[in-house]
Amino acid sequence: MKIIPPDFSPTSAARVVRVQWEGEDRFGRAPAPMDVRVALAPLPEIPPPRPGMQAQRDGNGLEIWVAEKAHQLWLWRPGFSIHLDFAGGKGEARLAGAPFWQNVLRVIYFHFFLPRQGLLLHAAGLVHRQMAFIFPGPSGAGKTSIVGLSPEMAVLSDEITVLQLTGNGKGAMAHGTPFYGDWGRPGADFSAPVKGVYFPIHAEEDRVIPLSPREALARLLPCVFTYTHRRPLLAKLFAVAAKAAETVPAFALHFRPGPDFWQVINAS
């Protein structure tokens, strides 16, 4: 199941962006589209956090403020505010600039995939030999570098990749997203079975070190985007991440600035 991203090019005038889903859920129903009214606004016009919002940090370490109740979400961060009504399939966002459009989709992706055993990861994703390889890490870890060193491979993203458990947690798929970092291009609208998760580390030699599920989970959790403070959703997020750490082989990837690291990945 994938999200079909809109062609999002907001102008100074408010416009409605429709986010449509592809496929059906486990009950055989196609989820209703989400219509979000988006408007650009100068920074002084972005409203402050609502009373009762709670502060947290997203996968990039940025402070955000969140308030939630049943099927309703309010989210604020500097230069950006959004309200989503998931039951009604509508929302409203105010952005200080066009680059903030990705924040709208990040929130929607998070709340769409989490109930469907999916995690929104701060990670690069590449497809090699018809299998997906995921490279989670904070800014500067080497995600975009790895994408640049793999020119013949399909890029799911150099910034945010979705990992979704399948087969009652016995397997996993990776989904491309429209989000991007320094690579500057949206990821491919493509999905592939996950071969492994590789946490990149700049080094002077290429090698992979297998990680236990406990070690993998400890490294994975800081790379999971979180746009909720509701305990049931946080518990769900942790359970999905823990199952992913048990299911998907994970490694620490020490790599040099050259494509030879794929030799040690292929041998792992």
Say whether both 243 and 146 belong to one domain: yes
Query: Both 55 and 106 in a single domain?
Result: yes
Same domain, 134 and 246: yes
Q: What are phi and psi of 263, to 5 degrees?
A: -65, -40
Tell me: the pLDDT tens digits for 144-203? 999 999 988 999 999 999 999 998 888 999 999 988 888 888 888 889 999 999 999 999
Domain containing residue 218: 117-267
CATH number of the CATH domain containing 172: 3.40.50
In this structure, the answer to whether residues 127 and 259 fall within a common structural domain is yes
Report, as an integer, the average pLDDT of 91-119: 84
**Which of these three, 96, 115, 134, is where a domain ends?**
115
pLDDT band per the 50, 70, 90 thresholds, residue 133:
very high
Residue 60 has pLDDT above 60, yes or no: yes
- Tokens, residue 77: 């961060």
pLDDT value at 15 more than 90: no
Query: What average pLDDT does the chain have?
Result: 86
> Residues 107, 183: one domain?
no
pTM of the model: 0.85
161 and 222 both lie in a single domain = yes
pLDDT category of residue 30 using cuts at 50, 70 and 90: low
Confidence category of residue 1, pLDDT binned at 50, 70, 90: very low
83 and 122 assigned to the same domain: no
Question: Alpha-carbon distance 118 to 227, whole Å?
Answer: 14
Eight-class DSSP state of 258: S
Residues 133 and 256 in one domain: yes
Q: Are the beta carbons of 69 and 3 closer than 8 angstroms?
A: no
pLDDT cut 70: percent of the chain above it: 88
In this predicted structure, what is the pLDDT of residue 21?
66
For the chain, the C-alpha Rg in angstroms (whole number) is 18
Q: Are residues 124 and 246 in the same domain?
A: yes
Residues 74 and 200 in one domain: no
Residue that terminates a domain, selected from 92, 115, 138: 115
Same domain, 210 and 94: no
Kindly state whether residues 49 and 80 are assigned to the same domain: yes
pLDDT tens digit sequence for 37-48 = 887 777 777 877
Name which residue leads in pLDDT, 65 or 23.
65
Domain count, the chain: 2
**Residue 109: strand, helix, or coil:** helix
> What mean pLDDT comes out for the span 193-221?
96
Burial 120-135, CB ≥16 within 10 A → b, else e? bbbbbbbbbeeebbbb
